[in-house]
Every structure is written in C-alpha cells, then in structure tokens.
Amino acid sequence: MAETAKKVNRYDSFDSSSWMTSPFTRTAEGFLSGRAIVTSIGVFTYKREDGKQQRELRLPEEVFDSASLESMKLKPVVNDHPKEKVTSQNAQELAVGSLGSNPSSTNQERTWDGHTPYEKLTDGIHIAIDMSITHKDAIEDVLNGKCSLSMGYDCEIEVAPEGSVWCGMGYDVIQRKIRYNHCAIVPKARAGDNARIRLDSDDAVLENKISTLKEGSEMVKKFNFDGVEYEADEGFINVFKTEKKRADAAEEALKKSNSDHQAAVSKMEAERDTAKDRADKAEKELEKAKADALDEKRLDELVAAKLSILDAADRAGVEVKKDMSDADIKRAVILSVFPTAKLDGKDEAYLSARFDSAVETLESHADGESRVIAAGEHPKAENREDSASARQRMIDYNNRRSRGSTKEEE
C-alpha cells in the first residue's frame, strides 16, 4: 500500500442519535449546558486546496482510539471555525464555552436503562460529550437556530489504494491519529443535523423550528437496528441495509462453509481409517504368505540339516543335551575333533567352516575303519552288523535324538 502521512486540519460534523444526548438547559448563571453528539465514523468529502474533492475515511479504531478521545476532553467551544488553531494566545477571544471530560466510547454500555449516565451511552458510530456554552452572543445564536456542531482537529493522512471501499462507500485516504483542537457551533453540519444542540421545552420556539426542519427534510429518516431507533439520511440507510444483507449472507455462507468443511474432514478421516485397516489386513496376509512359503521341501531340508549335525555329534561321541542349540552342538563336535581349537568370539561362518572340517575328519576315520572291518582285521569285526542293519540303526538313533532322547535302546 502506498502511504503518505502529513498533518492536516479538519472541521467536521455528523448526524446524531437523540437517545445518546440530553437537552441543553439554562444554568443558574444563564449558561446553556447539555450533552451532544459531536463526531462519528464514516466516509466524508473534503475540498482540497486545489479545489478537488477528497473522500476521507474515519475508521472506528481511529475515532474511538483512547488517545483521540482523551484529546477531546475539556476542549474550547467556539462560534464558527477560526482560521487558526485555538491556543492559549487566542482562547480568550475565540472560546464561547467548553466541552466536558466524558466522551462516549465503544467499551461503554450501548443501551440506556434510565439510570446509566449519558457518558456511558454509545452506538459504536457516534461520540457524544457534555458541553457548556457561556458566551452571551453564542447563546443567542443557538437560540436563534444556529445549533449544528463540528469538530476541528489534526490528523495524519494515509493514501488508500485506488478503488478502496468501506461499507459500500468509496474513499481516497484514511484519517489516522485524530487529535482534537476545538468544537465549533456552525449553521450547518457536514452530514446533516445529528451533530447539533437540542434545547429543552423552555426554548419551545427553537424546538419547533428544529422539529419542522427534521420532518420536512428528505435527508433525515428513521431506521431501527437491534431494537434501537436511529436517524440518518436516506443514502446512509440504503448503504446500511445493503451492507447488513451482505454481512448476513456472508455469515450464512461461513456457517455453510464450516459445515461443509466438517463433513469433508469426517469423510477424509473415514477414508484414512479404511485405508489403514486395509493396510493392516494386507500386512497380516503377507506375513501368512511368508510363513506358508516354508513348504514341505524346506522343512525336509531343515530336518536333514539337523540330522546331519546330530549324526556328526554321535560320531564324535558328543553328548547332546536337550537345551543345546545347533551352534553349541557344532562347537562341541569341533572341540571333540580339534581339542585345541579357539572358538570364543567366532561368528557363525567360522563355526560352520570348522564344523565342516570336523565332519570330513570324522568321515575319513569312518572310511578307514570300514576298510579294516571288510578285511576281517578289526578286533571287533565279529560284533559288527551288516551295512543295511547299521544304516537302519543310525536312522533310528537319529530319530530318537531329534525327539530329545539320547539313550540308545537295546
């Protein structure tokens, strides 16, 4: 956003809501004292030095800013805007009264129950404040119908992007850091006669005059919002109604969007849970398939390998205990054949290699012994069985070993 900031002087006024104000009455000294609306939020048009018009936006956060409201307190009231600021050097000449110290703000109560002080009343649009008019000429001007009010203030101007719109109204710049200098009594307020002085029944002539003006004016109409009746020109009411419809439609769209979003989230969660269940099922089926892959041939291979280890242990004279693992049996066989072998810390590959060497050695010894028996030279040849009987005896023995039995049956 392109921005520029500079100090400018503004004299402004806005329409009023009578429920935020109190009629001006005469004090014992003859002063006029009451509460009036003196400013508001909105987009207002000003004439620049070059004669062109400029639309300036007064945002709620700027108008109701605490520092801005503080600057309004006890500021002088003047009769018409002066050409310069009101200061201590010219206040004695220009001041015809004073504002109070109680401007309304948005953090105060919005409705009046008959007991709430006026300074706590606000509609979030207008600012009202107590006021006292003390100068005789100014009092006479008010009684004769000069009753509109306009604030004089300084502010910083922030240039807005081209085509900027607020509440259906286009604007060129935004007023920032609004600081008030005075409040002027003027013949006509910038935005109608809401920002004005209302007199009590003792000034019936002026009240009748104001009432005639209100009833005969095409600019001022009444509308109700949240149970409170307001007065505004027809253009503002139309913009208000349009924006309210737009806001209501946006709220309904947001509710539907939230509902649709929740439905979409629920659907995605259901799809996620379904996919997870399917993945879990597939994983279980995969594990089962892996288990089923250990078919009969594989089981035969495992059994054969186990019998081979047990056979080697039997040849080596190793006693196989029930809780011994294959690796333990291999170590025992290796140490039986090679008593000086160092096996601590050796891995499975090393053990397998040494075991194979031990088996070869055992088989070599067995072959030599068989040749001796065949020649009838073995001392125990007469006790040896034929080859078929020996083979069956070995198979039976290995079967018993695989079942955990180590005792040979007679």
Please write the tens of the pLDDT for every residue from 230-255: 555 555 666 677 777 777 788 788 88
% of residues, the chain, pLDDT over 70: 66
Q: Please tell me which of 32-41, 130-139, 148-157 the model is most confident about, judged by mean pLDDT.
A: 130-139
pLDDT at 26 over 90: yes
- Selected residue with higher pLDDT from 295 and 119: 295
Please write the tens of the pLDDT for every residue from 104-114: 876 544 444 54
- Selected residue with higher pLDDT from 13 and 342: 342
Cα end-to-end distance, the chain, whole Å: 106
Look-up: residue for tokens 């190793």? 318
The pLDDT score that the predictor gives to residue 94 is 96
pLDDT at 330 over 50: yes
- Selected residue with higher pLDDT from 237 and 372: 237
- Selected residue with higher pLDDT from 131 and 216: 131
Amino acid at 75: K
Least confident of 181-190, 295-304, 319-328, 377-386: 377-386
Gap between the Cα atoms of 177 and 159, Å rounded:
14
Nearest to 133 by CA among 98, 82, 101: 98
Query: How many Cα atoms within 13 Å fall on the side-chain side of residue 68?
Result: 25
The pLDDT score that the predictor gives to residue 95 is 97
The pLDDT score that the predictor gives to residue 29 is 93
The pLDDT score that the predictor gives to residue 381 is 43
Query: Could you give phi then psi for residue 124, rounded to 5 degrees?
Result: 80, 0
How buried is residue 195: exposed, middle or buried, by Cβ count under 10 Å (0-12/13-18/19+)? Answer: buried
Least confident of 130-139, 164-173, 190-199: 190-199
Please write the tens of the pLDDT for every residue from 116-142: 555 556 677 888 999 999 999 999 999
Instruction: Give the dihedral of Cα atoms 29, 31, 36, 42; nearest 10 deg.
Output: -140
Q: Which residues touch 137 (CB under 8 Å, ≥6 apart)? A: 79, 96
The pLDDT score that the predictor gives to residue 348 is 85
Q: Annotate 264-308 with DSSP letters as a single string.
A: HHHHHHHHHHHHHHHHHHHHHHHHHHHHHTS-HHHHHHHHHHHHH
Q: Annotate 39-76 with DSSP letters as a single string.
A: EE-EEEEEE-TTS-EEEEEE-HHHHT-HHHHHHHTTPE
User: 149, 38 in Cβ contact below 8 A?
Assistant: yes
Q: Which residues touch 24 (CB under 8 Å, ≥6 apart)? A: 32, 33, 34, 36, 131, 133, 142, 197, 198, 199, 200
User: Which tokens belong to 305?
Assistant: 């390998």
> For the residues 197-205, what does the mean pLDDT come to?
50
Helix (H, G, I), strand (E, B) or coil at 316: coil
| Average pLDDT score over the chain | 75
Amino acid at 145: G
User: Which tokens belong to 299?
Assistant: 């089981």
Partners of 129 in the β-ladder: 36
Biggest alpha carbon–alpha carbon distance for the chain: 158
